[in-house]
């Protein structure tokens, strides 16, 4: 697993290398929207989520995504993960349903991935 912060960004080529070892065209990630950090390079979103929670993140702030390093624009980030199912927060599906939250996640990803 790799934690990415504003102090340590990650390149698309690094993401491609990680994806090639795991799932081919995609890499799983979890973003903390409050801290502005992201964890990548694990088999399960739940493992990345647990890492962030153990290191000070709040459950309400972490969201699962998939990154497609060969894609651009809206196709780069997919908002699909079991950890996103949170009826108490108004999110009843694996997707991130709130458009503002999706924009926040995309903004963080686009800052951290160079």
The per-residue pLDDT for range 8-46, each reduced to its tens digit, is 899 999 999 999 888 788 999 999 999 999 999 999 999
Give the per-residue pLDDT at 87.
96
Q: What is the pTM of this model?
A: 0.95
Helix (H) / strand (E) containing 66 = strand 62-67
With 0-12 / 13-18 / 19 or more C-beta atoms within 10 angstroms meaning exposed / middle / buried, residue 12 is middle
Give domain limits for the chain. Answer: 2-112
Using CA atoms, how far apart are residues 94 and 84, in angstroms rounded to an integer? 5
């Amino acid at each position: 697993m790799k934690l990415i912060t504003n102090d340590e960004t990650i390149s698309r080529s690094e993401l491609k290398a990680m994806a090639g070892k795991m799932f081919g065209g995609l890499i799983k990630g979890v973003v903390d929207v409050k801290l502005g950090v992201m964890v990548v390079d694990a088999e399960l979103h739940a493992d990345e989520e647990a890492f962030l929670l153990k290191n000070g993140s709040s459950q309400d702030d972490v969201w699962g995504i998939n990154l497609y390093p060969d894609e651009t624009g809206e196709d780069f980030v997919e908002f699909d993960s079991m950890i996103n199912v949170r009826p108490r927060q108004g999110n009843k599906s694996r997707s991130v349903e709130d458009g503002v939250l999706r924009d926040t996640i995309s903004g963080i990803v686009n800052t951290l991935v160079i």
